[in-house]
Structure 1
Amino acid sequence: MFRRSKSESTATEPLVVKEGGKGRPTPTRREAEAAAKARAKVPRTRKELAQAQRQARMESSQQVRSAMKTGDERYLMPRDKGPVRRFIRDYVDARFSIVELMIPLLIVTMVLGYSGNPDLRSMGNTLLLGTLLLVIVDLLLLRRRVRKEIGRRFPGEPLKGTTYYTVTRAMQMKFMRMPKSKVKIGQELPEHYS
């Protein structure tokens, strides 16, 4: 009859923190196990840290490799990102280049050079010099056309680095280009890239 109820005693009595106590409630088993798992994932030694970094690098490079094949712009390297770079890739991939004939012509030149016949050897050298001259002229014309198209399609965009990107892409065989080609030779390119 004169007793206090439980709810009254907790509401009226202030919470007393024991002197020298931890100042927080004891964690439940679930909380303690979750904290232990989180601590176990954090590398403690240099060896574990190096292994975790190596694993992160492998995952990142795997994403970049798959993006190079699929063209997913989120994971491409910074040099390949953006609408201007995508346009350059498409422009270079949509045209037939003399560079694509370079390796077969170099093989023919090498065979002619080792034939032992002086006339065939001189023909091989002439073929090699003619091929190199055609490649240089082709790359210069490509550079001029790409810069003109970039100026028309992307007014105000800086042209810095576009020549190097264009020439390095054009110098590769089509099946070796990364990011993979999205257009076929002779395909019409879209007017706007975003």
Structure 2
Amino acid sequence: MFGRKKDEAAADDAAVENPYESTDVDEAGKKGPTPKRSEQEALNRRPLVSSDKKARKEAERKRRIESQERLRLANETGDERYMMPRDRGPQKRFARDFVDSRWMLGEFLMIIIFLFLIVSFSFSSNLVIQANITLALWLVLLVTIMDAFIMTRMLKKRLIAKFGESERGVLWYAAMRGLQFRKMRLPKPQVKRGEGPRD
């Protein structure tokens, strides 16, 4: 009885002293070495970030395409959740609608300048016509600036009446939008000319 306990204790001591010995027996009847705990944990570890550069680049490309698609749809539909930060906010939306509901001379400015250049090259030898063309171009620029100034003053009054104040940068935002051709404006116009801003 006491001999059995001593044998079991000796077997336990041998297992502690020889941690690399396995209790498993293979088909040939031989014991194989038990792997270290650190080695076993290393085998079970998986990297949180893929080490495959190609897979990472592909994932980044997909995220970029999805972000661009959301931005495109937002610019088309007026959904501010996915717009650029510069276009977000109720006052920016009101300013866009206010500009888009009007006829602005500034949106045709690039076309007018291009036509003036063509006429100027056509009559490059006639100094009198050249002087008149230059004067006419300056007049167009002056009228464009006056039109934008009047528009921003009217917009400021509307913003104060509706929101209690005019946020910084909104008037400049509206003026720059007024210089863009209507079909090229982003976000896309959500109102027709003459409709007025949405509530």
Fold match by TM threshold 0.5: yes
Q: Say which SS state the counterpart of residue 65 (structure 1) adopts.
A: helix
Residue 51 of structure 2 corresponds to 44
Amino acid in the other structure paired with 1:134: V
Given the alignment of the two structures, is residue 64 of structure 1 paired with residue 71 of structure 2, yes or no? yes
**TM-score, scaled to structure 1:** 0.71
Look up the equivalent residue of 1:112 and give its one-letter code: V
Q: For 1:43-101, what per-residue CA distance to the aligned partner results, in whole angstroms no more than 9, with x for missing partners?
A: 33233223212221121111101211121222111211222111100000011111133
Percentage of pairs with the same residue = 34
Letter in 2 for 1:161: G
Question: Which deviates the most, 137-146 or 174-183?
Answer: 137-146
Specify the structure having the higher radius of gyration (Cα).
2
Give the letter for the 2:175 counterpart.
V
Counterpart in the other structure of 1:132: 141
SS in 2 for 1:146: helix
Amino acid at match of 2:188: K
1:169 aligns with 2:177: yes
Residue 106 of structure 1: aligned partner: 113
Give unpaired runs (5+ residues) of structure 2: 1-45
* Letter matched to residue 163 of structure 2: F
Distance 1:178 1:123 in 2: 36
Q: Distance in 2 between matches of 1:96 and 1:158?
A: 22
Unaligned runs of 5+ in 1: 1-38
Instruction: Report deviation, 1:141.
Output: 1.4
Two-structure CA RMSD over aligned residues (Å): 2.3
Conserved? CA contact 1:89–1:181, under 8 Å: yes
How far apart are the structure 1 equivalents of 2:196 and 2:167?
A: 23
Secondary structure of the 2:60 match is helix
Deviates more, 1:99-108 or 1:163-172: 99-108
Paired position in structure 2 for 1:183:
191
TM-score normalised to structure 2 length: 0.69
Is the CA contact (8 Å cut-off) linking 1:108 and 1:124 kept in structure 2? no
Q: Which has the higher strand share?
A: 2
The alpha-carbon deviation at position 42 of structure 1 amounts to 6.0
